[in-house]
Structure 1
């Protein structure tokens, strides 16, 4: 019994050190989380306080105006929503289709690896480069007009498309291969297996990646500036080829005004509106994602 005492003491000491490190790491992780959450909460609270008295129905339903007390956000609000809806219609089928091909159909050869490498690199390209691409491709080459809904949506869609593809690939890759084999064993074809087995189980992950990508897209300004989207428009876009502004551009324009009312009150009201629209779009996407999770 005496010979076991040093080993037991060593094990006990090791256990105490491990528990101490575990507690310390847990507290460090909690502190890191609280720093981010508290900083964001303080920032949002400050903006929300500044927007009091400015964010009202008149602000949401009126066009911009040089008088801060009559300034409205309607054209930029409708423009951003139209751009986001068109972006979602473009990126979701293209991104998921590309991910399905790369994961389920493409052979594991040099060409596929080259494509994968380029998609990963494109996900990290600065947004201003995509703005130049949109300017050269959609405006100069295809002559679709400066700052239209169509050009703005396709330019920003190119920006987030690699992110959607990568997230969709990861979600498809996470589906157990045994489920595919079970589907094949029951006589299903490859497309039937993808449609009935792979995509339903991968859809929550695909939706999560798409939500994050759309959240980035709604706040982008550099690509819109490069395609000459106006910072201020006074009418609601009525077609895909109408001139369009977006909420970030309008907020940026107001912030450049010398009046204090614009720099604080009107800008804060625009920021709160932008956050509400972003959270609403994300909430709708999350509800759709959760329904897919319940089905699977």
Structure 2
């Protein structure tokens, strides 16, 4: 199970330990910094090679347990197995579980902690599954439900900005944001059972240029290596991520093209790539302009910023 305190604490140590990478230079924190909402603040994440970057933006791992598909292209179905992709990737940890196991076995504290958490299950307590399970348990523990919005809807506080109230109504109504970012996680986990994670074709562009837009060339879900997803309607399709703590996680989109929430809202306001006149195949976002005023955009942003769980992040940083 992913709710064992012993495995969660062990997973936190592993999450922060650079020994998991080939040259002991990268840890999970390299791309998932608590100070930045467990992202890295870069358009595309830095790799283990100086001057080189990975293919995509680093998404937050907060509330990752409330999804059923992982990575922007949705190539993995399991939090534990997600760890393997990072360890194997030649731009990320670029190593193997066998190498990591040898390193951890040299540390008496790790031996003690793995035995306490996984002793008696198999012969060797430090193994591929126990490492992956511990990291997954820690990631699964990163939950954010104590924002100003949450406290207000639970009747724990009486004050809530009028602009955020208007923004919530616009988010769920005229802006149609809530038709893809489903409450209460505000991600693509589909109600009422929340066991399916959605992706969308938005026609994301390269940089924010509404005058001469250029479609991002990343094929996304269609080329994630899964036969079941290799269809034209998944071309340029990417996971719908949570907007919780979005105030902390700029830049935005899978390619980090949008530097501010104002740019994100303007992109949607114009109808995505197709609304800008680009030939986007199978765009799932309506190309019709939303006709949101500048004030309405400010109100939606006010609502989204009210989803920042500052107290929770302060706890994590301490």
The alignment's TM-score, normalised by the length of structure 2, stands at 0.29
Structure showing the higher helix proportion among its residues: 1
Higher relative contact order (CA 8 A, sep 6+): 1
Which one has the largest radius of gyration? 1
